[in-house]
């Protein structure tokens, strides 16, 4: 099974996938890792691991539709079975979803449909829920919407800060993503 992973930031969840593939516990091929901006640690980690990487820099395109088309063309050039959004902070265009319908997997640090968007951890704390968690789902053209594949609950502790909670969620998120990818690879 071939995947392309899209990141925008540190790529710690991606790192856990790279490690699982390297130690043989995840039977898949990471065809490439891409970002929407230069200088991400996620792409840096991937290059260090000997993986192919690319950047389709959002700022290089005067029109959003041109960036959308360039991203789709680049990702499709790897002929992936699945595209994994792991900390990728762009909402892809409907054309991208059409090309990878049911094969675009996103991870989110909250129990969707609760707390979608870029601040799911912060929003859960602000609301005062006692349990949040993480979600792996097939993404559609919405913001963190689409059929849910798996979820893990994570309790919010009184002493939690947004960072401490997000780090604890990410531990669960990495395990969940690897489990989902292993299941997809076996299917
Ligand atoms: C993850 O929690 C992801 O769900 C959210 O941003 C975080 C990315 O973390 N969108 P990292 O870049 O994998 O460290």
Please provide residue 96's backbone torsions phi and psi, each rounded to the nearest 5 degrees: -70, -45
Range of the domain at 146: 2-186
What's the CA gap between 110 and 97, in Å, rounded? 22
Q: Domain total for the chain?
A: 1
Closest CA to 11 of 47, 46, 53: 46
**Mutational pocket test of ligand 1: of 8, 13, 176, the residue with most ligand atoms within 8 Å of the beta carbon:** 13
Is residue 166 part of the annotated active site? The answer reads: no
Average pLDDT, the chain: 97
DSSP string, 18-37: HHHHHTTSS--EEEEEEESS
CA atoms within 13 A on the CB side of 60: 12
pTM for this prediction: 0.96
Which ligand 1 atom sits closest to the C-alpha of 42? Answer: 12
What CATH number corresponds to the domain at position 108?
Answer: 3.40.50.170
Non-local CB neighbours of 48 within 8 Å, separated by 6+ positions: none
Neighbours of 75 (CB within 10 A): 23
Residues 24-55 pLDDT 10s:
999 999 999 999 999 999 999 999 999 999 99
Looking at residue 105, its pLDDT comes to 98
Looking at residue 59, its pLDDT comes to 97
Which ligand 1 atom sits closest to the C-alpha of 166? Answer: 2
Percentage of the chain with pLDDT > 90? 98
Residues 113-151 pLDDT 10s:
999 999 999 999 999 999 999 999 999 989 999 999 999
Pocket of ligand 1 (CB under 6 A): 7, 9-14, 42, 86-87, 107-109, 170, 173
């Amino acid at each position: 099974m071939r995947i392309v992973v899209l990141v925008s930031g540190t790529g710690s969840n991606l790192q856990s996938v790279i490690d699982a593939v390297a130690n043989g516990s995840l039977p898949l091929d990471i065809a490439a890792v891409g970002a929407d901006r230069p200088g991400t640690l996620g792409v840096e980690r991937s290059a260090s691991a000997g993986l192919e990487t690319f950047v389709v820099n959002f700022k290089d395109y005067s029109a959003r539709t041109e960036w959308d088309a360039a991203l789709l063309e680049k990702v499709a050039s790897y002929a992936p079975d699945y595209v994994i959004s792991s900390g990728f902070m762009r909402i892809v265009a409907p054309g991208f979803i059409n090309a990878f319908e049911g094969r675009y997997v996103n991870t989110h640090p909250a129990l969707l449909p609760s707390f979608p968007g870029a601040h799911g951890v912060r929003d859960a704390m602000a609301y005062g829920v006692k349990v949040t968690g993480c979600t792996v789902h097939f993404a559609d053209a919405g913001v963190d919407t689409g059929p849910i594949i798996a979820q893990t609950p994570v309790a919010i502790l009184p002493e939690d800060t947004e960072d401490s909670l997000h780090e604890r969620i990410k531990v669960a998120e990495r395990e969940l993503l690897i489990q989902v990818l292993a299941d997809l690879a076996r299917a």
